[in-house]
Structure formats: C-alpha cells, structure tokens
Amino acid sequence: SPAGMVLSVLVILLLSVLYEAVKMGKAVLLRRALLALPRSLSQEALTQPQEGDSGSSPSLMAFPISFPRWFWFHVGQTLFHVVQVVLGYMVMLAVMSYNAWIFLGAIVGSTLGYFM
C-alpha cells in the first residue's frame, strides 16, 4: 500500500541517518583514544593507568587487573563498529530489493546524516 511504502522509505531514511551518526561517533572515540594513549609506547606505559586516571570503573574493582583509559575507548569503538556494520547491512539489504523509492530513501538519508 502507499502508506506502507512511505513508512518503509522513512525507516530506511532514518537507518541511513543513524548509520552516519554512528560513523561520526566512532571517529570521535578514535580521537579520544588517541589522546588517551601515553606519550611513551613502552610496555609499562601501555599496561599501567596514567596519573589521574582511575583505570577502571567502580563495578570492575573486584578484578585484579586495571585497564588503562585508552582500552575502554577501544572497547567503545568496537561496539560502535558492530552497530555500524549491522546498520550498513540492513540498509544494503533494503537497497537490494531493487525498489527505486527505497534506494532514494537510503541516498537521501545518507546525505542528510552526513550533512548533520
């Protein structure tokens, strides 16, 4: 039906916008991870928390190992990457329906998401 098609195009448009937002969030986390890296890349500097760094969250205090701040940024980047891949495949599968309106919704959503 026409209403179903409009809803489908809007959903694909929103998924494309969300894909671009996740891509940008991943880039922001990369920048923060690079800033959190220690100046020296020695084994001790990479495994020990930096000064002023708690090293781990309060819920993980039972573990004997404390992770440096850059590690948690890397975990966040990994989660963002998984979400980005899933969204990308969902949009790709929708486009593979070979429907021109769905294709235009993906293009407009990607353009709008990148612009925002």
Confidence label for 20 from pLDDT (cuts 50, 70 and 90): very high
- The token duo for 48 is 């020990």
Residue ranges of alpha helices (H) inside 1-116 are: 2-36, 43-47, 69-95, 100-115
CA neighbours closer than 13 Å in the CB half-sphere of residue 87: 22
Distance, CA of 63 to CA of 58 (rounded, Å) = 10
Over residues 60-115, the pLDDT tens digits come to: 555 556 777 778 888 888 999 999 999 999 999 999 999 999 999 999 999 999 99
Mean pLDDT of the chain: 83
Over residues 22-71, the pLDDT tens digits come to: 999 888 888 888 887 777 666 555 555 555 555 445 555 555 567 777 78
Instruction: Kindly give, in sequence order, each residue whose CB lies less than 8 Å from that of residue 72, ignoring residues fewer than 6 positions away.
Output: 57
Nearest one of 26, 30, 12 to 111, comparing CA atoms: 12
Question: Tokens 């701040």 correspond to what residue?
Answer: 69
Give residue 45's pLDDT: 54
Question: Tokens 């353009």 correspond to what residue?
Answer: 111
